[in-house]
Structure 1
Amino acid sequence: MSSFDVVVIGSGPGGYVSAIRCAQLGFNTAIIEKYPTLGGTCLNVGCIPSKALLDSSHHYHDATSHFKEHGIDIAGEIKVNFEQMIARKQGVVDQNVSGIKYLMDKNKITVLEGVGSFEDATHVKVTKNDGSSETIEAKNVIIATGSKPSSLPFIKIDKEKIITSTEALKLKEVPKHLVIIGGGVIGLELGQVYLRLGAQVSVVEYMDRIIPTMDASLSKELTKVLKKQGMKFYTSHKVKSVERNGADVKVEAENKKGETITLDGDYALVSVGRRPFTDGLNADKAGVKLTDRGQVEVNEHLQTNVSTIYAIGDVVRGAMLAHKAEEEGVFVAETIAGQKPHIDYNLVPGVVYTWPEVAAVGKTEEQLKEAGVQYKSGSFPFKALGRSRASMDTDGFVKILADAKTDEVLGVHMIGARTADLIAEAVTAMEFKASAEDISRMSHAHPTYAEAVKEAALAATDNRPLHM
């Protein structure tokens, strides 16, 4: 029987990063993955492929909508080769997946293909696709089994016309009318992909606004921009039924007044969140407790009730984000090594990769008001930046929230070009307890989108932006 210092179950961003850090720290490490490719949801059917399609569709949108104004004339009709677009997406996925395999080999991590399940607290059974199995011994186990798309009880996902994000990434055609159930990150990103390619896109959201967990100002601005692009929204609507009739799908939803709408489309994308995935793990055999929401129960050290078993990523509490899982993976590896790592969950940023991009870190205005915190706010619109006007990316703004007395930055919320990258500046500043004035006195290169961060900090400091 093979024995390891650490066995990681699941090879998504949390799992493979954790395995790498364990190996760096000198542990004999194994990683178990049930699929033939490493990388989990993120690399195979999530973050990476969706961004590939977002970028491809963005290029097409620019070619059809903006090139002429830039002085770029393209002879003939511009067409979408959707088959090639999907093929390029898969090529990007394959490159990233092979990169993870290289990292496993480089760090001398044993990769075991199969379903990992507990025999007891120190033994994990690996069941392969051909039905054969082997059992390995582990001094420590890290559960990193991730999540799966959620649905509603009355919806039957057929993976053909009533689909999840997984199927939406590999369609054979551009939908005529894509009805999206759920106005969160995944639905909006995939919705914009197909909107750019010519689909009619309708979003049905139960809450009174899209991206409801983010600052309300971001939701308002993103709604305005996406409506301008042609996306339709039905907020404060509860889906009552989703039915397929041959090649068509009918979605019925009801608003708070009891009024019903019917949306007829050729595809319905169910995007109502994700659920922790522990199917087949046999956590009970190891004595590991799960919560009533199906999450693995952990303490502040990401340790389960069994001292040698840890859990990270989507399968535990908190935001289901790849980078959050990565931080937790490193945290657990260093904890096992006897180090004293830390994670500030308040400083884990959230991003929506639509265009304009949406990014945020820290507290929202709604959270500060609910907590009774006295704060000040400073905003700056991208349309006032020379760089934004030069690139024709003038939608959006940066908003900085700071403590009314100490000026410490409490939250940064932005929507606009490249905010997915700009948010790292805010995370860095807040990690070191920066004030709004600190940011306002830092030199920002001109002309850049980042100048909006400096200007918002000036607005928050004493309402003195330079370019507005």
Structure 2
Amino acid sequence: METQHFAAIIIGSGQAGNPLASAFAKAGKKVALIEKDKLGGVCVNNGCTPTKTYVASARAAWAARNAKNLGVNVSEVKVDLKAIKARKNKIVEKSRTGLINMVDEKSQIHLFRGAAKFADAKTVEVNGQKLSADQIFINVGARPRIVEGFEKVKFYTNVSLLEIDEIPEKLIVIGGSYIGLEFAQIFSRFGSKVTIVEMNDRLISREDVETSKIIANILENEGIELELGAKCIGGKPYGEDGVEVQLHCSGEQRSIRGSAILMATGRQSNADLLALHNAGIKHDGHNHIHVNEFCETNVKNIFAVGDCNGKGAFTHTAYNDFEIVNSYLNGGNRKLSDRYTNYALYIDPPMGRVGLSRDQALNQGIDILYGRMEMSHVARAIEKGETQGFMEVVIDKKSEKILGATVLGTGGDEIIAVFLATMYAGASYKTLRDSVQTHPTVSELIPTMLQDLNELKSTKK
């Protein structure tokens, strides 16, 4: 079969691949877009869009049950998972349809359905067809990582759990990081009895110890059980439809039983499916593709964007990868090192994070100015009846620049943008300290927090 030639080949229609295809088409260039599954990648189909739809429904159920605390009586709260799922599907379908229409309307974009593999540095094979291009862009994302020990038992992943119609009576979540915590709280609020099993001695171990403890308290206050320090875990069937998870916690061998298991033990790059060796593309032991500041691999004119390059693993960083590549191809100078790492944990209350935490800064040998405000001291949080959590800011004492911030509390996922904007502006923390914020909001306490900073010296010099 004759090889088809394109100006560009884009492998994967995720949050970087789709805008790249659109940009090439707008420039009048013929582009091949390869997708083995649904258009839109993880975010649209089984990531941000559907999960945050479920978060909203879980929040509504929680608010109804707790309305009495605000003087509102709700006689009965029923959770209809089929209706929640139908709403989720409608929202997802709308987003996906928009992408399908984009591809259909642009004649320069040629969509190929199937799994791609490299034949060489300029050629990709898909469904027996050979495609070549002057530039190739890899946007293949990641998939759930499955740990050993559960081969004999049925379990769900973050993808398949979104397709069930009945709420599990008892859900066992394997993994106490971001995905696991979000689903744990969602299904707890839906009505499941939930247990989180985590191998580390605390949840979300990349966060500071104190932050982990506060998040654990938030979940435990909602009735979610925690099994921390679990080693040598495994699963097996129990009874007709049940499951049993063996765990070794605090030196005691025992097991817990439930009706369903969610495997939430992290993500792994899909780059291992591409036969990268045929193109000479370098990657690390986690199959993250090595890239430079402009997302270009060690092979000229082959770029890796999104989760598979290991530089972000978020929708917003994937889209920024597109912006960096698009800038580079058009003579610009945007770089990976320009951005600040930021993300959110969508439990309720949510947590927004940017840059360095207190402990991370001190461990890097930086003397800092540190500010902290408990949500229980914030009038707006008190008025809403949502006083769990805190906000903190970390400042480089020498430069007066904000190094990072955490907002764990009501509106935290949005409020973190205040710190982000200040950091990207390169402004002194005093600019934010002297600003006038709207009353009554949580954000209005940020300047107050910045007026009462503590100097912390690092012991690692």
Question: TM-score w.r.t. structure 1 length?
Answer: 0.90
Q: Deviation of residue 148 (structure 1)?
A: 0.7
Asked if the contact 1:218–1:358 (Cα under 8 Å) also holds between the matched residues in 2, the reply is no
Q: Match for residue 247 of structure 1?
A: 241
Mapped partners of 1:150, 1:227: distance in 2: 26
Out of 292, 300, 306, the position equivalent to 2:299 is 306
Q: Deviations over 1:1-58 (max 9, x none)?
A: 54322211001112223333444556433321111x3111111111111101110111
Aligned twin of 2:6: 4
- 1:77 — aligned with what? 76
Of residues 255, 262, 275 in structure 2, which corresponds to 1:269? 262
AA paired with 2:243?
A: V
Deviations 1:171-211 (A, max 9, x none): 22111111111110000001111100111111111222111
Q: Which of 266-275 and 453-462 deviates more?
A: 453-462
Q: Tell me if structure 1 keeps the 8 A contact 2:370–2:455.
A: no
| % identical aligned pairs | 28
Deviation at 1:270, TM superposition (A): 1.3
Q: Secondary structure at the match of 1:163?
A: coil
Gaps of 5+ in 2: 457-461
Match of 1:411 in 2: 404
Alignment pair present for 1:14 and 2:20: no
The one of 423, 426, 432 equivalent to 2:419 is: 426
Is the CA contact (8 Å cut-off) linking 2:70 and 2:385 kept in structure 1?
no
For 2:453 and 2:33, the matched residues in 1 are separated by: 47
Distance 1:226 1:157 in 2: 30
Following superposition, the deviation at residue 266 of structure 1 comes to: 0.8
Q: What is the rounded CA distance, in whole Å, between the counterparts of 1:369 and 1:217 in structure 2?
A: 15
Superposed displacement of residue 415, structure 1: 0.3
**Residue among 192, 213, 220 paired with 1:220:** 213
Paired AA for residue 30 in structure 1: A
Partner Cα distance (1:456, 1:205) in 2? 34
Task: Find the residue that maps to 2:16 and give its secondary structure.
Answer: helix
Task: Tell me which residue corresponds to 2:139.
Answer: 144
In 1: Cα distance, 2:414 partner to 2:106 partner: 29
Q: Does 1:278 align with 2:278?
A: no
State the AA in 1 paired with 2:64.
A
- In the TM superposition, what are the counterparts of 1:57-96 in structure 2 within 5 Å? 57-66=58-67, 68-74=68-74, 77-96=76-95
Provide Cα deviations, 1:250-285, integer angstroms capped at 9, x if missing partner. Answer: 112223x42223111111111110111135422222
Give the Å deviation of 1:314.
1.4
Residues 157 and 407 from structure 1, CA distance in 2 versus in 1: closer, same or farther, beyond 3 angstroms?
A: farther
Q: How many residues align?
A: 452
Match of 2:159, SS? helix
- 1:291-440 aligned at under 5 Å gives the runs 291-344=284-337, 347-440=340-433
Name the counterpart of 2:459. none
1:91 partner letter: K
How far apart, CA to CA, are the structure 1 residues paired with 2:16 and 2:164? Answer: 28
- The equivalent of 1:130 in structure 2 is none
Contact 1:147 1:276 in 2 (8 A): yes
Instruction: Output the CA distance in 1 between the equivalents of 2:233 and 2:95.
Output: 40
2:26 and 2:386 map into 1 onto residues whose CA distance is 42
- Listed as ranges, the matches of 1:168-187 within 5 Å are 168-187=161-180
Most deviating of 173-182 and 313-322: 313-322
80-89 or 19-28, larger mean C-alpha shift = 19-28
Cα separation, 2, equivalents of 1:288 and 1:219: 38
Tell me the SS of whatever aligns to 1:262: strand
Distance 1:179 1:64 in 2: 23
Letter in 2 for 1:298: V
Between stretches 17-26 and 388-397, larger displacement belongs to 17-26
One-letter amino acid of the counterpart of residue 442, structure 2: Y
Cα distance in 1 for partners of 2:216, 2:361 equals 23
Q: Give 1:85-234 correspondences, 5 Å limit.
A: 85-105=84-104, 109-127=109-127, 133-156=128-151, 161-234=154-227
Q: Provide the rounded CA distance (Å) in 2 between the counterparts of 1:164 and 1:296.
A: 24
Q: Is the 8 A contact 1:351 1:358 kept in 2?
A: yes
Cα-to-partner distance string for 1:393-446 (whole Å, 9 max, x where unaligned): 221111001122332211101101121111122111112223322211112111
Deviates more, 1:329-338 or 1:350-359: 329-338
Deviation, structure 1 residue 454: 2.7
Change in Cα spacing, 1:183 to 1:157, as seen in structure 2 (3 Å) is: farther
Could you tell me how far 1:345 is from its partner in structure 2?
6.6
Bigger mean CA deviation after superposition, 337-346 or 295-304: 337-346
The gaps in structure 1 that reach 5 residues or longer are: 128-132, 464-468
The residue number in structure 2 matching 1:29 is 31
Q: How far apart, in 1, do the equivalents of 2:196 and 2:264 lie?
A: 10
Q: How large is the RMSD of aligned CA atoms in angstroms?
A: 2.2
Distance, in Å, in 1 between the alignment partners of 2:130 and 2:157 is 34
Whole-angstrom CA distance in 1 between matches of 2:427 and 2:252: 49
- SS of 2:213's partner is helix
Instruction: Tell whether the 8 Å contact from 1:346 to 1:363 is kept in structure 2 after alignment.
Output: no
Tell me what 1:287 maps to.
280
The 2-side partners of 1:229 and 1:121 are apart by: 53
1:100, 1:81 → 2: CA distance?
29
C-alpha offsets along residues 89-121 of structure 1, whole Å, 9 cap, x if unaligned? 111111111222234456653332222222222
